[in-house]
């Protein structure tokens, strides 16, 4: 339930917050609440993914992406996520979530998200997302940028995807093939 309050507060803050460009990194601030904790009294691993959703929502609300995607009847769904935990976050700590679009390929958008407390990285996360149409079907990045051009919006210059994203995708492909063999995943 506390994520609903956070989402509501995020909507209010972004109405008065600074707008950012398509590829700008944004920072979203939070406080660890008691409902974020697990039995070991640090942020539950699943809660990080939920808070990352809020960071992406903040990016969509503060950048031109949100208005443009909504005008087209498109929305982002997550195809894959990966987290690496370095240090714990504890109750009532302030922390910042930095969110940035890392790039895209012919099918997916890749987003990096990192949790910071006192300028120290606590957790890194990476997300692979796909755009879907409300009317059904998928939207490839090429179609997005073609629609931007059609609407006289300057499309962002595609950044080079970091090497670790390529390695992550190779690992995912291996997992997919293994799952097909075993039919267990």
Per the domain annotation, does 166 fall within a domain? Answer: no
- Interior angle at CA 139, CA 106 and CA 21, nearest 5: 80
Does 85 score more than 90 pLDDT? yes
Per the domain annotation, does 145 fall within a domain? Answer: yes
Ranges assigned E (strand) in the chain: 26-31, 74-85, 94-104, 109-117, 120-133, 138-139
- Indicate which CATH number applies to the domain containing 96: 3.10.129.10
Q: What is the pLDDT of residues 165-181, one digit of tens each?
A: 999 999 999 988 988 88
- Interior angle at CA 61, CA 60 and CA 67, nearest 5: 80
Per the domain annotation, does 173 fall within a domain? Answer: no
Per the domain annotation, does 116 fall within a domain? Answer: yes
Per the domain annotation, does 139 fall within a domain? Answer: yes
User: Quick one: pLDDT at residue 132?
Assistant: 97
Per the domain annotation, does 170 fall within a domain? Answer: no
Q: Could you list the residue range(s) of the whole structural domain that residue 67 is in?
A: 2-158
Domain count, the chain: 1
């Amino acid at each position: 339930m506390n994520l609903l309050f956070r989402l509501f507060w995020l909507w209010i803050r972004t109405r008065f917050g600074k707008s950012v460009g398509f590829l700008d990194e944004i920072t979203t601030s939070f406080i660890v609440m008691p409902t974020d904790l697990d039995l070991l009294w640090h942020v539950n691993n699943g809660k990080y993914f939920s808070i990352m959703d809020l960071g992406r929502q903040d990016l969509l609300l503060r950048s031109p992406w949100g208005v443009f995607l909504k005008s087209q009847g498109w929305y982002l769904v997550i195809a894959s996520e990966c987290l690496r935990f370095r240090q714990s976050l504890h109750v009532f700590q302030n922390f910042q979530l930095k969110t940035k679009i890392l790039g895209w390929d012919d099918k997916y958008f890749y987003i990096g998200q990192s949790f910071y407390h006192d300028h120290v990285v606590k957790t890194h996360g990476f997300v692979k997302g796909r755009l879907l149409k409300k009317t059904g079907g998928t939207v490839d990045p090429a179609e997005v940028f073609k629609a931007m051009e059609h609407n006289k919006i300057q499309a962002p210059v595609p950044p080079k995807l970091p090497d670790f994203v390529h390695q992550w995708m190779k690992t995912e492909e291996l997992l997919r093939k293994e799952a097909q063999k075993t039919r267990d995943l």
